[in-house]
Structure 1
């Protein structure tokens, strides 16, 4: 029999981690508890809306690790492995589960994941890395989804997001490369706006793919969420600039030659800064969701993004209607008042401009109720492919 398989817990500390400790008598104390007797502990992680039913249970024993030099306790980085048990919670197609490395925070009397990351997981055990020494356990979060979106749908949506975002990133790189290659394109005000929108969206999508799941270290995860918050606000800022500039070019022809670029730069890159700073200042310790480096959806932080996004979508939707009417009238006049031709031209113009001005993000707001699955798929497809649509509009049309 392999003795390591019978172990319920193991700890590994690098000699380099101990060299930084002060001189003195060093002692290592490791205690293992089969059960957690703090029955008052209630843990709830809500990520899928306030209607989600969430249960978090401990699926391992508790391992307590203390390193002392003389009589003082010192934190050191270490790796530990805990044997896990199967959950008693029945799983269905509308239930999602996630395991977490956690420690007991004596200051808050609750479990926390700060400073911990999951290294390896199999059917019977989970290995974790910690930046400190304390009491550790493995938690299982079971979430009953509040909508008709099944676990399989979430997996498909996640796969679509990754694949389509890669397509979008490639298209944005080509778009930016084309604008940078030719001086006449690089210096035109309209193309400068296009380039800034492409750059902000490219940075947001790359960071989203790389960092949104790096939730092991709370500080790192919060920094990623802050950066994503800023970048996506910048995307909406530049989409607003696209709408305003198009409005001035088409509707307000007189005076459209004025240099508005400093104002546009302030809207695109400047306005998101105070929004992120204020929201982070108010909710820094609870800024992110528990298992992703994005805004917390249960304590109001998400509205620091959703609020400005809704305002931009509303403004651009109004501008889209006005621009569509102008295209319709102009096309009808050119074609001797042929209403059919004017309507076709107007619809074509609106369809082309819709992804450019961010109107497709409305699908995300409509993803509730019985039609949630349909709108979730539409939202993922159109939002993930926004960079590809930008390439099509800027470089091919």
Structure 2
């Protein structure tokens, strides 16, 4: 509130947990005979269940998603409520979805409309809306059903290849010097994570406790997947640096049991600490980590560190391979094997999760968003291609299996 004796130059921002408002209350007060004005900002926790995004008129081939809590702003005990300047609302996102178009909307009797409101700026965590009137507001994202279908198809295809890779690792015979422990556990972690993600996007989720449990499991599985990507990067680096002693180095320095402890314990510690510090941080509207209090950094922080380390290791691997190429003899078979190894190393960029860096730029371009979605849902596909399809020994075992299968069918 401001009154006739107020000498403030500007009114402080009003804040709620998930929103804030900047309003020229002093200017409004000057336009009133009483030289006073008051503003109230209210945030509703579950109002979006009543004022659903479906009430936002749109074409049939699009999907509406509520991206913020519903808020209301009003000028109580104020005679002249005409605004002197547009009001800016900052709305925190209750979910992170870089796809689609954002709309600042207000409730008008029976529907959400955009008249008089526009998006000033947006980022991954919040959006600033500018409106020329006060009402009940929300942030709605409009995305095409094709994007949703593409997401679903990519996840399903990724799950198929994760399963094929795991079956190949489990059933095929491998050379003694080959260490598949990191690849197997990347597949297990991301397979389970994508299965949970598939459940979320195909089944309605209204149970808050179940949603919180799922988001906690997703946090653990994705983090463990990234830790295993880092372990795979380390193993690959050792492999390239010791081309003549791959098997002995791996057995001496990095045993499978030790790697399993690291791969899952690090992620478990991060999740346990996160639960201890912010127990209410899980269970957002789309069953993921809540954006409140910067809690999302309990996931983004470790991921950024691992991605940075993997990029450094990846660059070192490329440099080491380049050095190895220069020192090789000119034998054709040796050069052929080296070229295959170079190709596999380049393809490792996706396996090591380096393509997740695109996630920080999905707001820039729709093409980057689609590329991010495809690459990171197909890590299982790349693992299957690199380590199974392009492996001569595995291909021979595939051939024996299919020949046996054909013989059984003939008899």
* Matching of residue 191 in structure 1 with residue 180 in structure 2: yes
Inter-partner Cα distance in structure 1 for 2:53 and 2:295: 35
Structure 1 residue aligned with 2:359, among 358, 361, 364? 364
Q: How does 1:123-142 map to 2 (within 5 A)?
A: none
C-alpha distance 372-267 of structure 1, shift in aligned 2 (>3 A): farther
Q: Specify the alignment match of 2:233 in structure 1.
A: 243
The Cα of 1:157 is off from its aligned counterpart by: 3.1
TM value normalised by structure 2? 0.58
Q: Specify the alignment match of 2:153 in structure 1.
A: 163
Cα deviation digits, residues 169-224 of structure 1 (max 9, x gap)? 11111111112213x33987612222111111111111111135643111000000
Q: Specify the alignment match of 2:14 in structure 1.
A: none
User: Equivalent residue of 1:195, what SS?
Assistant: helix
C-alpha distance 188-205 of structure 1, shift in aligned 2 (>3 A): farther
Structure 1 residue aligned with 2:207, among 194, 217, 231? 217
Q: Specify the alignment match of 1:24 in structure 2.
A: none
Q: Specify the alignment match of 2:26 in structure 1.
A: none
Q: Specify the alignment match of 1:263 in structure 2.
A: 258
Contact 1:167 1:385 in 2 (8 A): yes
Contact 1:168 1:386 in 2 (8 A): yes
Q: Specify the alignment match of 2:122 in structure 1.
A: 146
Cα deviation digits, residues 276-321 of structure 1 (max 9, x gap)? 11112222224232x2001113431211111111111111111111
Q: Specify the alignment match of 1:387 in structure 2.
A: 380
C-alpha distance 227-154 of structure 1, shift in aligned 2 (>3 A): farther
Contact 1:185 1:191 in 2 (8 A): no
Inter-partner Cα distance in structure 1 for 2:266 and 2:273: 12
Inter-partner Cα distance in structure 1 for 2:178 and 2:341: 25
Q: Specify the alignment match of 2:276 in structure 1.
A: 281
Cα deviation digits, residues 67-97 of structure 1 (max 9, x gap)? xxxxxxxxxxxxxxxxx9995x777999944
Q: Specify the alignment match of 1:42 in structure 2.
A: 42
Structure 2 residue aligned with 1:322, among 302, 308, 316? 316
Structure 2 residue aligned with 1:299, among 285, 293, 305? 293
Q: Specify the alignment match of 2:347 in structure 1.
A: 352
C-alpha distance 96-276 of structure 1, shift in aligned 2 (>3 A): same
C-alpha distance 300-151 of structure 1, shift in aligned 2 (>3 A): closer
Unaligned runs of 5+ in 1: 1-38, 46-54, 61-83, 103-137
Cα deviation digits, residues 117-151 of structure 1 (max 9, x gap)? xxxxxxxxxxxxxxxxxxxxx99899969379x95
The Cα of 1:153 is off from its aligned counterpart by: 4.6
C-alpha distance 204-139 of structure 1, shift in aligned 2 (>3 A): farther
The Cα of 1:256 is off from its aligned counterpart by: 3.7
The Cα of 1:349 is off from its aligned counterpart by: 4.1
The Cα of 1:329 is off from its aligned counterpart by: 2.0
Q: Specify the alignment match of 1:313 in structure 2.
A: 307
Contact 2:233 2:352 in 1 (8 A): yes
Contact 1:329 1:342 in 2 (8 A): no
Number of residues paired by the alignment?
286
Inter-partner Cα distance in structure 1 for 2:339 and 2:385: 20
Cα deviation digits, residues 242-287 of structure 1 (max 9, x gap)? 0111112221557443143233112211111111111122222242
* Matching of residue 231 in structure 1 with residue 225 in structure 2: no
Inter-partner Cα distance in structure 2 for 1:154 and 1:285: 32
C-alpha distance 95-176 of structure 1, shift in aligned 2 (>3 A): closer
C-alpha distance 85-159 of structure 1, shift in aligned 2 (>3 A): closer
Structure 1 residue aligned with 2:367, among 361, 374, 386? 374
Unaligned runs of 5+ in 2: 1-38, 71-109, 125-139, 391-411
Q: Specify the alignment match of 1:202 in structure 2.
A: 191
Inter-partner Cα distance in structure 2 for 1:250 and 1:268: 22
The Cα of 1:44 is off from its aligned counterpart by: 6.1
Inter-partner Cα distance in structure 1 for 2:337 and 2:168: 32
Contact 2:165 2:388 in 1 (8 A): yes
User: Equivalent residue of 2:182, what SS?
Assistant: helix
Q: Specify the alignment match of 1:135 in structure 2.
A: none
Inter-partner Cα distance in structure 2 for 1:315 and 1:236: 11
